[in-house]
A and B are shown apart, each in its own frame.
Chain A
């Protein structure tokens, strides 16, 4: 661990690509041992670039960071020995079986010969791949590949785990299973997990703390609950039964705050005193003789947090962001991308 006791500590980390914008523009963060840190942001925000730097696969342009108490620039081999990583691509060999992958990884990581087979079997059981262990990975589903990816990252018993968008493209069941395992690793085994994601629900459900990154900078960082509370009150959204009465609805809702017209002829308003005001809203509309087709109460989300901090919604931000400065797979030379 670093002198401050953090498992991961980052100060002013910058990564510039030649002829390109700064993919990571001076970020500071600290992750405590045993914590699940969610790094949330749209495509092109700098998440994967940050992970590549922290896992020593990409040197930073400036700034410093330590992982497991080791400097990422000067003590790279010690960093790699203490981390496991499941990067953005599942990066598996379709010709090898799951078991063969684990044995290869175990050998290369220096796991003692006597324990490689046992360790591989343990991990296969843990990620639920025992039955498929001796089938070629080319026949695995996306979820199975991700589980194998996770097992490979754990083969040498690291203390810190990096997961780069681990559930992208997975179905709900696979995603939930992966969340469950990640949560168990952190809370039962004390593993530190640095997780990047573009899914709000993933960060919200899984992370102890969330750092929101946009255009290379961290724009917010705290627990999910505190971040949302900072944004404030819930919003009620009402759809009139008769669309022609929308103006009348807006007039009634104006008692509570500034109404906003959303798509689908719905009108929303923030409730400054929280969900307790919901009954007053319904009473006001009823007394005005206005009929409601549907009514929804929205709690603030991390998307609202992102919107408040950046002026854009997270789920639309990928389209609006600058050309992605994702580090290319190692097969392509980076030319400022």
Chain B
């Protein structure tokens, strides 16, 4: 365990150090969520006038919660890009050679992703508050929402690490990103689930991301619903993506 933590800390430190030395690395993961917040909350705010759209905190908050979780997911995805780059540059091989407990490498990458996401989440939250967003949830509700974000970030990072380690090239980027993108956008992004119609309603109804999103929106509005289910699904997702990432690591080890 001690060696695992040692390796995880070293890899996470490198990730944070690189970000501090070159803060521009963080820019895409900050700018994109802000941009989506502006585009959706700004450009689509009229959607709140659709009959039966009754999210109490308002449309800005409605979109903020989505962007909050989306930034968590994409923060994990960007970590996968970094892992893929490490393989392309040969640095990953150095890590594999020198780490006494290689699973610590995965942990390190995911911890780095989480710490970077905290920065993004803070910036996005401040921007939404400055835009006049109402917050109806209490302290515990908001902590719960943060917890959901953490789990989304970890799950996405583990997924991305796995893909990057299987493919070991930056060209894995679209393969890392697209499934996450599709899962997120097949959830009730623009309107609540009950206002979706057609095939998208059917898909969103069974999409685990919908549970997480609606739970987070409920917490933010102070009317939590399906929170336990959301946490259970995300924890299960993390269990699956952990196995996935470990398999990816094994593949990278076999490749040498």
A and B touching (Cβ–Cβ under 8 A):
no
